[in-house]
């Protein structure tokens, strides 16, 4: 039985990857951070009681900023594969906490590589590094492939640039199977609530259900190549099963503006919206509501721009070329953008029906508008 160790197992990708590896028969170990509240919502369905026999899912307390703890866990688990998904992954927050981001996302990667090297596991343990399309940053060329030069535009991307190159360096210096998956944006119903797609699908569901009036967004012109996280964790696993350790781009090759993602999300619930105005004055209003259950009047303003969500430096256009992955490994995504939007919006409607029920019962529902 193969053993995998996943950092960031409590995050979106960690949860889908853990599920996939368990299905494939792996023994899965994950590193979770201590927090004052339970932080395992995304993986609670995978929990196995450690007191029982044949347990294949184990969580270890740890943190990527703590070398000795990383070394101890790697020593204990002796993994065949490590997926380093742990990171402070929010681009805008990285401008507020640049030093911490460098430590967790940049040096954290080094700590994983060093643990494997120090423990003499370089021939046994393969390492996957969660690299990102944010490395491309300021547009040098489109579509972006493994050969496109990097120009990072945030403390997050600069930290990930270190992670990328230290992975390449350890592969070359110590002949390790250490690779970068350069993944473009991928989303799902498990996506963190403050990333733009989830913020939109949550907002749309809550507006339709009468729990929220408006969504406040930043740059509506940015373009992203969005895929589904379920397809992308499959790509991670495939990249780790190859003879040759190489870096791969994972993307859909289709790019969409934030504004259009908003329209598609409302349309999923039969609500037609139209944008008007410019810059910080831009808004979206309801044109027509075709769904009998949702009572939204024409002319209602449902999206406004709040400059607090503008970033000091922005990544305007991402569109990935993953022909290497398709040709060498044969990866094919199951979800396109409409299927992703459908999955996310409908999951959020189901989720917030519970809040509506509570509200109807007289409970106060927090309008957390971040």
Catalytic residues: 132, 134, 156
Using CB under 6 A, pick the residue from 18, 21, 77, 104 that binds ligand NDP: 104
Q: For residue 303, state whether it binds ligand GDR (rule: CB under 6 A).
A: no
- Choose which of 73, 112, 127, 130 interacts with ligand NDP (CB under 6 A): 130
Long-range contacts of 296-299 (CB under 8 A, 24+ apart): 296/207, 296/208, 296/271
**Closer Cβ to ligand NDP, 111 or 206, answer by number:** 111
Tell me if 148 contacts ligand NDP by CB under 6 A: no
Total site size for ligand NDP, rule CB under 6 A: 26
Answer with the entry of ligand NDP, ligand GDR, none that 117 interacts with (C-beta below 5 to 8 A by kind): none
Question: Closer to ligand GDR at the Cβ: 87 or 208?
Answer: 87
Closest CA to 66 of 110, 130, 15, 30: 110
Would you say 66 or 282 has its CB closer to ligand GDR?
A: 282
In this chain, which of 222, 229, 303, 341 binds ligand GDR, going by CB under 6 A? 222
Distance separating alpha carbons of residues 367 and 48, to the nearest angstrom: 34
Beta pairing, strands 301-305 & 283-289 = antiparallel
What is the distance between the alpha carbons of residues 169 and 90, in angstroms, rounded to a whole number?
A: 26
133 lies in the binding site for ligand GDR (CB under 6 A) = yes
What residues make contact with ligand NDP under the rule CB under 6 A?
7-8, 10-14, 31, 33, 35, 39, 63-65, 85-89, 104, 130, 132, 183, 185-186, 192
List of residues contacting ligand GDR (CB under 6 A): 89, 91-92, 132-134, 184-185, 194-196, 199, 217-219, 222, 224, 258, 309, 311, 314-315
């Amino acid at each position: 039985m193969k053993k995998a160790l996943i950092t960031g197992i409590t995050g979106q990708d960690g949860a889908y990857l853990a599920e996939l590896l368990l299905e494939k028969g792996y023994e899965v170990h994950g590193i979770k951070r201590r927090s004052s509240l339970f932080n395992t919502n995304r993986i609670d369905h995978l929990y196995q009681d450690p007191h029982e026999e044949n347990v294949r899912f184990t969580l270890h307390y740890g943190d990527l900023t703590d070398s000795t703890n990383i070394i101890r866990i790697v020593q204990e688990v002796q993994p065949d594969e490590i997926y380093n998904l742990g990171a402070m992954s929010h681009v805008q927050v990285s401008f507020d906490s640049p030093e911490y981001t460098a430590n967790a996302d940049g040096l954290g990667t080094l700590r994983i590589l060093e643990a494997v090297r120090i423990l003499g596991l370089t021939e046994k343990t393969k390492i996957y590094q969660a690299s990102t399309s944010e490395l491309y940053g300021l547009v040098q060329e489109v579509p972006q492939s493994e050969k496109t030069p990097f120009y990072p535009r945030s403390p997050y991307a600069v930290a990930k640039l270190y992670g990328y190159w230290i992975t390449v360096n350890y592969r070359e210096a110590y002949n390790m199977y250490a690779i970068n998956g350069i993944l473009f944006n991928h989303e799902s119903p498990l996506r963190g609530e403050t990333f733009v797609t989830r913020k939109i699908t949550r907002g749309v569901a809550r507006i339709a259900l009468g729990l929220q009036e408006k969504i406040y967004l930043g740059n509506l012109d940015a373009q992203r190549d969005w895929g589904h996280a379920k397809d992308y964790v499959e790509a991670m696993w495939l990249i780790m099963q190859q003879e040759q350790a190489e870096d791969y781009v994972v993307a859909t090759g289709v790019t969409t503006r934030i504004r259009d993602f908003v329209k598609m999300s409302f349309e999923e619930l039969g609500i037609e919206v139209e944008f008007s105005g410019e810059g910080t004055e831009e808004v979206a209003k309801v044109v027509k509501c075709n769904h009998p259950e949702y009572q939204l009047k024409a002319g209602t303003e449902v999206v406004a721009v709040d400059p607090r969500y503008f970033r000091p430096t922005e990544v305007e256009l991402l569109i990935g070329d993953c022909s290497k992955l398709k040709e060498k490994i044969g990866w094919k995504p199951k979800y396109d953008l409409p299927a992703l939007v459908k999955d996310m919006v409908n999951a959020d409607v189901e989720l917030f029906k519970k809040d509506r029920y509570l509200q109807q019962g007289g409970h106060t529902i927090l309008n957390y508008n971040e």
